[in-house]
Structure 1
């Protein structure tokens, strides 16, 4: 971490367990610089992340490979969570404008046999059960199983609730001293009764609106089935070859209702969607760590091939019955990527790092004939297809004349393609396909983003505590804007430009032998620099909090007893659609406190208690641009978890 010349936050399994948060969106939204977006008419409902003001719902990775589709995600199979900030297309490919999220999963190990069982009960009908077992079948072969079942009501919002089931099955085989083969199968199901929260009344979220949905109709169901295989070869002490292959299918289906008020008249509004995503990918990396020309080089070079497909449809609702319609869009994206990265150690004080990546893609999107519900305009069935290449890179330097600290500077880029968000289909302003007035899709250039970062990192307290600070500026140019109607394919192409500037601080590790901390603070400012809508120029970005902070403390009172807490702060946030100027609708700032305590009854048996939102703060996490959907943060709730290791 100290030697990584960029802003990266690593959340370990222990810190995730202490927090008591099981949903990936809850963990990420508590981190500085990250906010949530709502599902809307132009994009799907599911976990929608926004990092440093930029969409990241497709920039989610597991064990270094991209995840398919927009779904809900749980932490039961996660060993470590890595959040990188700033454009990183050299590593991640297209997108990754504000950053990316990578989950490291719990893999089979040849080190130990164990079985860990966990059961939790609590308020709001909370129950959660997990099993984590690893077995060494032979000295060369091990298998591991992680299993999950959980369900709960949304605190104080029943009948809104969540149900989760999951499994991660993995194996590792050490074929020789220099060759290791591993594979895993991930299955996950979520079955929720969604809660679209509340709405704005006179510019403020109203607390008078209870659950706004139809419990006999509404559902939000997602499923993932993903197989990954990895071959790791030690070719020599200085050269390693790694090959990863993944095949995954995810589905996301929903009918979600809310109450809409226009001109003082209340009416029901229902959002529906169905999406099936398929991902096939292969990544081959050659890692070389050796002296070349009298300098130490750490080289990573490789090739990545990927095929992404997505089919989308809607539901027709009649009374309390929802019937799935025919496929409305068919999306396919094929990508071939080449990359080369090198970190060169000049001497004890200086390191230089640089990298290039070229992505060649072929894009095709078929949209069925459609009729606008607002204008009545009929759009005939259309196929958009084109191909292009993206070249991105990074370069920087690390200066570390001190034993425990360094200063670094870097420059990095990323690219987004027209129509790159598969769930947005033909909704131009939400990342879907855009065309010019003649329907010419090829006229849009890729959006280009440049990041400048100057930072420092220090190992303190006898290298037990890491401090980091970074100044950064992200500028996005050639922005594809939605035009006057973001739900149609026509848009204002490459007419926008915006910028985010800020500073971020982080502290992670042990302050004393008994007190540990994880702290992050982001202070940012955003501005629309250019736009087809001149009134938007100068306005801040939507779904963007200027200040956000998170602090998690743990104090080991005695060997068997520890307690701690978590504080999350977010300043006010304006609504709007991606890369558009913010609307006048906004959410108030909030501060939320959580508490936890654990007691080690025996060497194998532990009890942990968590209280979320101790002060029962009314707070709101995401805002639909028109103000008719506002996600409500969870009210106060508590649970107790019993952990036993055989």
Structure 2
């Protein structure tokens, strides 16, 4: 199908004027500033730098506190490991997306997937999936998307168990994205970038003080690029974010804001792995890396897989997404240090994609035999089954959050507190692209032909239909045509599935929470927090023989945190803290990889069986599923050096998770899984001198799967001893946890050589990451009396992506007070490396070297 067959026509080329429209405000901005009656811009000391006090001017890298009512203490006095990526860091590094910006934070990796949100943001903090723990201005943002930074003021990374702060999830930490909102002074800026790989980007930011009462802000963006080093891949997007504040500097203010982002891209299906657990040439433990470079298969076929090799179909594959968010925030200052804030938000996100995923689960890449056969042309290797992944869906959320916060004293004890309540309704509905007109004879379900029903995968028919392609030259394939089924010769259209075959998840959350930073003495601070959530979720599954399965569950979650801070000097602190997190079943509402989902019903059953399966599913969801529990302990120290310009921090921590879903020794799903992460972190951000800014850190993670459950094996009958099933320890037990780098290091620095010239650069290191572990070659037999003999696994294969160093560089020149010119070079050495990994199938390859120049004008 063409990219326009499966979705409404794209208008991405038309709305570029929305970003350019910001330029129109620039001409009138100086006049508006004069009319506002505001004083001229002053100067202030921030982070060791003298900076201009305007809404859109440059500042240092250091933040004093996070922007949230729940932040009841400055960062120095908060007993948590917190990193703030400020807008100046985002600008200097040339970041355009959330993923780009977070590469400056050690200890964060990014995962890939095959469904839900396979290409969008999926950050792992301290080894835990934090996709469901991403917030916008303190409000949960569950929609599957790729986030932009054109309207971002700062990104707050809170590490460690964090359900007290945000609610369900947050086992390893959370992200809070702070929006650009109206400020008191009129200012404007526009930037235009152009570079290699046809990189084009325009952003605008205008803040207008209309009068003493009202301020208006508009940010906009238009972006279009190819991906350096990757054949055919492109990314296009545009967005805008207007906002207005009534009562800018008064005790009572109302802020109305809106955000829209529209994306269109050719998704990157990545590179397959070389071996499976059944064909790895090395016995024992071995690594299977993504296929890259010169390859020789088991059958002696040789070829080259370059970094630009693309296994998708440009004429058919696509990913479209749209995000719309409307927010109303009311704030009032009662005086005497007490304030209230109420935030109401409606969010809608839509995503549709179809892309081919290089799947080697049957060993087609390396091969399984020295010679091929007519039934299995890939037996000697050199082929890849390109499995189709497609989905469309949307998510809606309605959230109201109220915070009462401030300070008071009880005798000599000072309190900085926040109490609040949250109500939210969330809905996510999804379906797949299918072949309309072909129906399963038993249940009427729609089917899409992908080659998944063929075994082995790479038959002559599969190759002829481009289900299976050459490892070395995947674009030299037959023209792709969609048929009614894998064996039909009837050409069929691809459309969205029928409504009764879609899945819908609904969530309802009611929460109350409280935080208090208690200054007992000038040297001793006690930090406490607690949160209680009632989370109700309902899942409506696809129709099964005229029965609509509906599964419900209710969880009551209580989480808390406690920390003690000792301040040996006013500019330093030592702390210890304890925090919990809870992840209930169906926590992501199907918008990501659900480790603890409700399950589904096999449609190929009789009506009586269907009813029984649905009843069993509800019983399992209500009574058998458990909430994942996480506990974190942390001890650390913080200090501010060079007159407060530079913050440094260090922390030791341990995080333990229990109730992980796993197969028990009797073959039944149980909640016996355990995971443990120990490590330490170092961090630095700010200014060493007025001219020299730095940010970065180092993280060590010892992430271990303590208990991965059991795996079932069927043992053949032997004489009077009947066939039986035995369970052995899962091969993952004791291994390093997936999606976790043991070592990660980041450093970004900028130096002002002269008042006009600045130079900067970054160094980023990530050690090896694991996707999954699999075993093969195990032989289990039994004697005639039923005595079991187990050979153990002949092979254990770990899918991994190798370690890497990446270097960036930047040169900036201040042409005048209002005009800046900069050049960013990313991946300076053109390093070939992988930045995402997904279990056994594929790894995403990072962009090659790219460069772009940016011209910025400000008023």
TM range (shorter): over 0.9
Over 3 Å counting, the alpha-carbon distance change for 1:549 and 1:175 in structure 2 is: closer
The number of residues matched between the two structures is 626
Does the 8 Å CA contact 2:103/2:746 hold for their aligned counterparts? Answer: no
CA distance in 1 between counterparts of 2:267 and 2:233 reads 6
Deviations 1:540-573 (A, max 9, x none): 2111111101000101000011011011110000
Matched, 1:503 2:680: yes
- How far residue 30 of structure 1 moved from its aligned partner, in angstroms, is 4.5
- How far residue 16 of structure 1 moved from its aligned partner, in angstroms, is 0.7
Out of 639, 645, 648, which is 1:458 matched to? 639
Aligned residue runs from structure 1 range 200-599, under 5 A: 200-202=273-275, 203-207=288-292, 208=305, 210-261=309-360, 262-264=362-364, 265=378, 266=383, 267-316=385-434, 319=481, 322-327=494-499, 328-369=502-543, 381-423=548-590, 430-434=595-599, 438-439=616-617, 440-442=620-622, 443-481=624-662, 492-533=669-710, 534-535=729-730, 536-576=732-772, 584-599=798-813
CA distance in 1 between counterparts of 2:316 and 2:668 reads 35
Does the 8 Å CA contact 2:104/2:748 hold for their aligned counterparts? Answer: no
CA distance in 1 between counterparts of 2:663 and 2:842 reads 20
Over 3 Å counting, the alpha-carbon distance change for 1:42 and 1:525 in structure 2 is: same
Deviates more, 1:527-536 or 1:600-609: 527-536
Over 3 Å counting, the alpha-carbon distance change for 1:476 and 1:599 in structure 2 is: same
Does the 8 Å CA contact 1:255/1:272 hold for their aligned counterparts? Answer: yes
- How far residue 482 of structure 1 moved from its aligned partner, in angstroms, is 7.3
CA distance in 1 between counterparts of 2:824 and 2:116 reads 37
- How far residue 258 of structure 1 moved from its aligned partner, in angstroms, is 3.5
CA distance in 2 between counterparts of 1:622 and 1:644 reads 36
Equivalent residue number for residue 848 of structure 2: 635
Cα root mean square deviation, aligned = 2.2
Matched, 1:183 2:268: no
Deviations 1:47-91 (A, max 9, x none): 111111111111111111111311011110011111110111111
Aligned residue runs from structure 1 range 88-99, under 5 A: 88-99=162-173
CA distance in 2 between counterparts of 1:384 and 1:28 reads 37
Matched, 1:64 2:229: no
Gap regions ≥5 residues in structure 2: 1-74, 276-287, 293-304, 365-377, 435-447, 450-480, 483-492, 602-612, 711-728, 774-795
Does the 8 Å CA contact 2:265/2:320 hold for their aligned counterparts? Answer: yes
SS of corresponding position for 1:422? coil
- How far residue 107 of structure 1 moved from its aligned partner, in angstroms, is 0.6
- How far residue 233 of structure 1 moved from its aligned partner, in angstroms, is 0.6
TM-score normalised to the size of structure 2?
0.70
- How far residue 309 of structure 1 moved from its aligned partner, in angstroms, is 0.4
Which structure: larger Rg?
2
- How far residue 115 of structure 1 moved from its aligned partner, in angstroms, is 2.0
Deviates more, 1:380-389 or 1:432-441: 432-441
Gap regions ≥5 residues in structure 1: 371-377, 485-489
CA distance in 2 between counterparts of 1:112 and 1:424 reads 40
Equivalent residue number for residue 193 of structure 1: 266
Q: Which has the higher contact order (CA 8 A, sep 6+)?
A: 2
Deviates more, 1:356-365 or 1:285-294: 285-294
CA distance in 2 between counterparts of 1:516 and 1:379 reads 64
